[in-house]
Amino acid sequence: MENNFNLQEYLADGAEVIVKDAIKASLKNPKESLFLANFAKHTRKASKIRQDYEKKGQNIPIFLIASITSSCNLHCTGCYSRANDACNDDEPLNQLSGDEWEDIFAQARNLGISFIVLAGGEPMIREDVIVKASQFNEILFPIFTNGTLLDKDYLKLFDENRNLVPIFSIEGDEEVTDLRRGEGVYNQLLNSMDLMKRNNIIFGSSLTFTKGNLSNLLSREYINQLRDFGCKVVFFIEYVPVNEDTVELAPGDDEREMLLNELELLRKEYDDMLFLSFPGDEKTSGGCLAAGRGFFHINSHGGAEPCPASPYSDINVRDCSLLEALDSKLFMSLRDGGILLDDHEGGCVLFEHKEEVERILNE
């Protein structure tokens, strides 16, 4: 499949669709539309940079996921980061500094990476890093946040820097959200969304879908509710098992097919909203996009990992460039060894092959 599949063309086309849909969703917001029109020019330049690297035999992904802190102020049930000891209450020692993240963002821009997801822990704990990110207008930074730390300073920062787009994590209604995230979190989320809406700042929501809740999250009743909140971007994030006991919650092919079909309909019905899924349609993209095929992950200590759901690393960006990290032994073995292209029942292909990933890491 890989031999007949042009990955760079697929990624470039995907970026173009995202930007076009985002512009359409922001037509009533002049400040946002102006930024996105300029950003569209940057994505075309970035695509050319990636194509030039491809001619040299080097694939550059379009996305980077940056976990800018391991600290979080919530204790969400089923948190993947806490399950992997990648998240805690205190600010851990030896995390990347704001200046180190600034250098990573600059390297990413120069490589043609157009989207950097800021994650955690809770990323809004690291205001210093988010301020650094605001300086890179060539890159769009979705900030995946629990929404509890929004204040006047952040509102001003988001208003003045439209490349920063808060994505609020919400589980559904108040009962479901508070059950997972803690009592009162749902109302804090609604207050944050209302502040964003009243200040005319674009924001989105992140919905983790499982085998059991996908139909509810896709219902027009729920989508209408999100639109009423002021939400312009909706990410559907596929649930990845935190251990063997939760494998049955992972979506399978039936759920993925349902999501693809419904997303196509939603994009036609709601032209004032943008709908995205992660990790996306692996069949269309020629397999899993982790390990630098379409994205990779840098943890808060600088370890370059295939994906947040596969927290394994054999190289640290403190000791090498992003370009060198993309050619790490682990990444190259995963890309060249066929694991990422393997069919799998549900959840994450790297989770299903974690013993093989660990074997590669320890060779």
| Nearby residues of 215 by Cβ (< 8 Å), 6 or more positions away | 258
Percentage, residues of the chain above pLDDT 70: 85
Listed residue (358, 269, 329, 271) closest to 27, CA to CA: 271
**Choice among 140-154, 277-291, 318-332 with the minimum mean pLDDT:** 277-291
Of 125 and 173, which is predicted with more confidence? 125
Q: How far is CA 270 from CA 13, 25, 279, in A?
A: 21, 9, 22
pLDDT in tens, 15-58: 787 888 888 778 778 888 889 989 999 999 999 999 999 999 99
Residue 345 has pLDDT above 70, yes or no: no
The one-letter amino acid code at 148 reads T
pTM of the model: 0.89
**Choice among 107-116, 229-238, 263-272, 329-338 with the minimum mean pLDDT:** 329-338
Band of residue 89 on the pLDDT scale cut at 50, 70, 90: low
Q: What is the mean pLDDT of residues 342-355?
A: 65
Q: How far is CA 133 from CA 56, 63, 101, in A?
A: 29, 15, 8
pLDDT in tens, 154-172: 999 999 999 999 999 887 7
Spatial separation of the C-alpha atoms in residues 56 and 73, rounded to whole Å: 44
CATH classification of 2-362 is 3.40.50.1820, yes or no?
no
Q: Locate 53 and state its tokens.
A: 């690297």
Instruction: Please report, for the chain, the start and end positions of each structural domain, with discontinuous segments joined by +.
Output: 2-362
Residue 239 has pLDDT above 80, yes or no: yes
